[in-house]
Structure 1
């Protein structure tokens, strides 16, 4: 009898381990509660998401105070979703169009401010039935950057007894040692795998597939892939020559190409579509975006590396075809030259 029980237990452990290893990858949707297009996409697609992540909380003082963003669309979206996603609000040190380094210093370096910040997060998680949080602290000072992981561990310890998770963001180009430290302090690291070419840089791919794969492979050695979420871009940039790019939705980028009578090309069969046009005043423009085929190719690359899942940055800008399970053949675009290198714009 004892041998039977031991054999049964071993078989059960094997089955549970296989189930965990073969768990379906998560799909996370980031959205802006104040943006009509973003909340409309949330309402339409909440049931296709495992986690929704509103930009909800802003650490806005060195005393640890959090400014919460109203989110009236969330309740209706969840009520109408057949499959109910968990809610993981994003809490950052961004407010009033700045990354507040002083506020981050307060929470990370002042024990009283840190305690107040953690207590506010715990209380809000209980009141709103959140599944966890995603912390996104950026522009940290040289003094607070080394203290970040230790603070995350404190917050994680406060949330864990409640059954809440703590995720943290990191750039996909971050040093492997940093990713390792963040992963050790939290449940999941969200790698922001976009802005290969950025709004204040020169035009080029937002996230080329080769760039994504190389970046992921360099970081996966630093942490268990099952504890990484890869955030994929789903938007476009319209760069005027020598200037800062404007953000476009994928649908608006495709419509602009049609309106301008411009042929759309790809640098590779599964790369970012792009085109060029001249504005009425004669200024040359370059438009690059991430459409459904590019997103699917990137998701396949992430899934092949056994990450915990992907996140969409962001709802309201994505190609509507991204949601189609039977998209059918995609239009064939002529291949273009190799994509340009991305560099910062010269300072004037």
Structure 2
């Protein structure tokens, strides 16, 4: 074979490998820059991820100012890694100082000057830090804000696109499918938050049950392009206290390791509805109250990842690094897709 043909063969093989890599389902990881366990998981497992999504930024004023979270763990990781691997998609939210700043988010979306100021900051920061894009997570919006969200995303997407940067947006599984579809049209990908079937202030129950996940995914993907959809899967637990009067208490978020340690400490019987279902148990706490603990371990994550990938989505994301089951990184991925079953039990707002 001539040198020219050999060089052409090598180039063709490299192109095919690049195309295969770009077509492979991605794995993204959300993490908290200020949390030690999240930083430790990032350092240990970043090599298994194609996208890192740090909770880095918040819009914190009606003028569109962006507050950036220091992230020494990410800086250290990127100093050791080759450029662009993994890609970094910081999360921009309207959460800061333990509030959802609805006024700041909605001003950025409805005030042209604030919107331009916000976009200019994001474009400049992405260029300086070589970000692959951003994940937008504006929550608790009013009807006015919801109506302005998709047009705002379209403008921000247009500002990022010339440099080849992507814009993703989060959506809850319970939001109106037509609204989620409008977000999808304005961005490169929708991140479906496929967890919190039962949530911290609801009655205790599965965080993402098999039937709930399968049915809700199928309903959402009926109006979304799967190849432009990221499914964010839970990897954490809730510990719900129950007050003596029978009224519910606010659940504490626990890691998978903490949930399993609680079960051992209390000699609790751990129950699963299915082999890969959400494990859960009950115990009497030191506060004198009965508790229920539910979580999503490696077995549940692997089954749910298989379910998402069987629906040909672009990839999945972990919410969040630092809370996940360590076995998630060491055991093989299951191939068993979840299938819709009986209608899942509803979780309700707890009575307080």
Partner residue in 2 for 1:61: 61
Aligned ranges 1:151-170 → 2 under 5 Å = 151-170=152-171
Query: Residue 344 in 1 paired to residue 349 in 2?
Result: yes
Q: Deviation per CA, 1:130-166, whole angstroms, max 9, x where unpaired?
A: 0000000011122121111001000000100001000
CA displacement at 1:78 relative to structure 2: 3.1
Uncovered stretches (5+) of structure 1, i.e. residues with no partner = 1-11, 329-337
CA displacement at 1:210 relative to structure 2: 1.0
Aligned ranges 1:264-283 → 2 under 5 Å = 264-283=270-289
CA displacement at 1:208 relative to structure 2: 0.6
Query: Which of residues 316, 320, 323 in structure 1 aligns to 2:322?
Result: 316
The answer to whether the 8 Å contact 1:28/1:312 transfers is yes
Partner residue in 2 for 1:185: 186
Q: Deviation per CA, 1:270-297, whole angstroms, max 9, x where unpaired?
A: 1100000001343100000000000000
Partner residue in 2 for 1:86: 87
CA displacement at 1:50 relative to structure 2: 0.2
In structure 2, how many angstroms separate the alpha carbons of the residues matched to 1:341 and 1:262? 25
Partner residue in 2 for 1:73: 73
In structure 2, how many angstroms separate the alpha carbons of the residues matched to 1:327 and 1:123? 39
Query: Which of residues 253, 258, 279 in structure 2 aligns to 1:247?
Result: 253
Structure 2-normalised TM-score? 0.88
Partner residue in 2 for 1:99: 100
Shift of the 190–116 alpha-carbon distance from structure 1 to 2, 3 Å rule, reads same
The answer to whether the 8 Å contact 1:46/1:84 transfers is no
The answer to whether the 8 Å contact 1:47/1:81 transfers is no
Aligned ranges 1:71-150 → 2 under 5 Å = 71-81=71-81, 84-150=85-151
Query: Residue 296 in 1 paired to residue 297 in 2?
Result: no
Query: Residue 194 in 1 paired to residue 200 in 2?
Result: no
In structure 1, how many angstroms separate the alpha carbons of the residues matched to 2:207 and 2:233? 10
The answer to whether the 8 Å contact 2:211/2:344 transfers is no
The aligned length equals 323
Structure 1-normalised TM-score? 0.89
In structure 2, how many angstroms separate the alpha carbons of the residues matched to 1:339 and 1:126? 45
